[in-house]
C-alpha cells in the first residue's frame, strides 16, 4: 500500500497535478453600485487571467430572479411544463437550471472545484476580499467599506472619493491588467 501511495504522489508531482490537488481556490469579489461597470471590468480581466494560464469561474447573484433559458428550446418547454429542473449537455459543456430555495454563493462555488480563481460579481457584504468600483458620474461613496474591502478601482482622483479609510489602495479602473495583477497578488505577501 505504501509503495502504491508513493508511486501516486511521484506521478502527481511529475505531471504537475500534485500542486493543483493541494491548491486552494482563490475567491475574490468585484463589487459596486448598479451600473458601476462590474460586468465590464470582469469581462476585461478574464482574458488576462486566462493568458496567465488560470482557470477562472464567475458567479453573479441576481436579486430580481432571472430566466436562464430562452423560449423555443426543449429545456425551456420542459421547465414551463412543470419540470423543477432541467439539464442540457454536450461533449464540452453543460447547463443545469433547478428551482431551489435559498441558494448560496458557497453552493455555487462547489460547482467549480478545478477553478484557480472564482470571481464573484456583486456581493457587497460578503466575507471575501473585494474590489469596489467607484466610477465618475455613477458614485463617489464606498458602499463596501468595512466589508473586506481590499481596493477601490476608479476613474476618479483620490480627493474626489468619499472614503473613510484613506489607506485603501486605489486602482485605475481603465487598467484591467493592474486590477488582475492586484487580485492575484492579494494575500500572497
38 contacts: CB under 8 Å, gap ≥ 6: 30, 31, 32, 121, 122, 133
pLDDT of residue 185 exceeding 80? yes
Residue-level pLDDT at 18: 40
d(CA 132, CA 134): 6
Query: Residue 23 — pLDDT band, cuts 50, 70, 90?
Result: low
* Mean pLDDT along residues 124-153: 89
Judge if pTM exceeds 0.75. Answer: yes
pLDDT of residue 189 exceeding 80? no
What domains are defined for the chain? Answer: 24-63+103-185 (3.40.50.300)
The DSSP line for the chain is -HHHHHHHHHHHHHHTHHHHHH---EEEEEEESTTSSHHHHHHHHHHHHHHTT--EEEEE--TT----S-TTSHHHHHHHTT-SEEEEE-SS-EEEEE--SS--HHHHHTT-TT-SEEEEES-TT-SS-EEEEE-TTT--B-S-TTS-EEEEEESS-GGGSB-S-TTS-EEETT-HHHHHHHHHHTT--
pLDDT of residue 173 exceeding 60? yes
Q: What percent of the chain has pLDDT over 70?
A: 87
* Mean pLDDT along residues 127-155: 89
Amino acid at each position: 500500500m505504501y509503495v502504491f501511495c508513493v508511486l501516486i504522489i511521484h506521478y502527481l508531482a511529475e505531471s504537475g497535478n500534485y500542486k493543483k490537488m493541494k491548491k486552494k481556490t482563490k475567491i475574490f469579489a468585484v463589487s459596486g453600485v448598479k451600473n458601476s461597470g462590474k460586468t465590464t471590468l470582469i469581462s476585461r480581466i478574464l482574458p488576462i487571467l486566462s493568458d496567465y494560464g488560470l482557470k477562472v469561474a464567475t458567479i453573479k447573484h441576481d436579486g430580481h430572479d432571472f430566466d436562464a433559458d430562452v423560449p423555443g428550446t426543449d429545456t425551456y418547454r420542459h421547465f414551463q411544463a412543470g419540470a423543477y429542473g432541467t439539464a442540457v449537455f454536450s461533449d464540452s459543456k453543460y447547463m443545469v437550471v433547478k428551482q431551489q430555495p435559498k441558494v448560496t454563493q458557497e453552493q455555487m462555488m462547489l460547482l467549480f472545484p478545478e477553478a484557480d480563481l472564482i470571481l464573484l460579481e456583486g456581493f457587497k457584504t460578503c466575507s471575501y476580499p473585494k474590489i469596489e468600483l467607484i466610477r465618475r458620474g455613477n458614485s463617489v461613496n464606498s458602499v463596501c467599506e468595512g466589508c473586506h474591502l481590499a481596493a477601490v478601482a476608479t476613474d476618479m482622483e483620490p480627493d474626489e472619493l468619499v472614503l473613510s479609510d484613506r489607506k485603501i489602495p486605489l486602482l485605475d479602473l481603465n487598467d484591467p491588467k493592474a486590477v488582475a495583477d492586484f487580485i492575484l497578488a492579494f494575500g500572497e505577501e
